[in-house]
Amino acid sequence: MKPTDRIFVALDTTDADEAVAMAEKLNGLVGGVKMGKEFFTAHGPAEVKRVSAGGMPVFLDLKYHDIPNTVAGAIRATSTMKPFMVNVHASGGVAMMKAAAAAAAEAGDDKPLLIAVTVLTSLGDEDLNAMGIAGTAEEQVIRLAKLTQDCGLDGVVCSAREVTALREACGDHFKLVVPGIRPTWASSDDQKRIVTPSDAVRMGADYLVIGRPITSAPDPVEAAKKIAEELAGV
Ligand code: C5P
């Protein structure tokens, strides 16, 4: 894959025209765009399709978590948007993940990459312990990533600091999708544990989710090109 294909730009907005304009500007410069619950709840599939109409691949970040039949139905329903990547919560369990994988496979050649969220980075050890999950968040991340792989999914979303351990636990073909990326020239915003795009790829990330360093830059095209140059050197 081209280095720039690794970049998915987070369009964290409910302004559909702004999202369409950003996707048009960045088309060909990045691998795709990520749209989540905020955008989807405001606009639904119609506007997701408008954002991707120019050919921009979409990571549909809806983090499904429900009973197996419902999640399978939701995954099946995403097929009208032909997403490149969709995700579910690994904590939905084995039956749910297997049902999701089977539903994704029904799309045939258009099968999206099916990714799981392990432990939300907003949760720490204490939060997990309060929910009855013993051990550390990192142990839980590895446990759920292995379960994800056993269920036939393609990979997980993870923080940069988990990449090395996950590569070791799940091998070379398991996709690792990493947010919290900041080029040296960008503000860290509210992200606490950040890595640069090139360091993330060196560590073993497959896809980088990058939002504000591109979308809030004075010139998003210039920002995307700078990140592409950085990745070309890896
Ligand atoms: O603007 P920024 O680059 O911080 O955007 C990162 C994107 O990745 C946002 O859409 C954010 O919700 C998402 N994300 C994250 N950390 C996680 C999971 C998702 O920043 N652990």
Catalytic positions are: 63
CA 88 to centroid of ligand 1, rounded, Å: 16
Does residue 127 surpass a pLDDT of 90? yes
Q: What is the pLDDT of residues 15-52, one digit of tens each?
A: 999 999 999 999 999 999 999 999 999 999 999 999 99
List beta partners, residue 33: 9, 58
Which residue has a Cα nearest atom 3 of ligand 1?
211
Q: What is the pLDDT of residues 188-226, one digit of tens each?
A: 999 888 999 999 999 999 999 999 999 999 999 999 999
**So what's the pLDDT on residue 233?**
87
The number of beta carbons lying within 10 Å of the beta carbon of residue 76 is 15
Ligand 1 atom nearest 12 alpha carbon: 10
3-state secondary structure of 56: coil
Q: Residue 139 is part of a domain; what is its CATH number?
A: 3.20.20.70
Q: What is the pLDDT of residues 76-108, one digit of tens each?
A: 999 999 999 999 999 999 999 999 999 999 999
Asked if residue 212 has its Cβ within 6 Å of ligand 1, the reply is yes
Which residue has a Cα nearest atom 10 of ligand 1?
10
Question: 116-155: string of b/e by CB count within 10 Å (b at 16+)?
Answer: bbbbebeeebeebeeeebeeebbebbbbbbbbbbebebbb
Domain count, the chain: 1
Range of the domain at 163: 3-232
Q: What is the pLDDT of residues 141-186, one digit of tens each?
A: 999 999 999 999 999 999 999 999 999 999 999 999 999 999 999 9
pTM of the shown model: 0.97
Does residue 140 surpass a pLDDT of 90? yes
Which residue has a Cα nearest atom 8 of ligand 1?
179
Residue 63's nearest CA partner among 125, 16, 119, 19 is 119
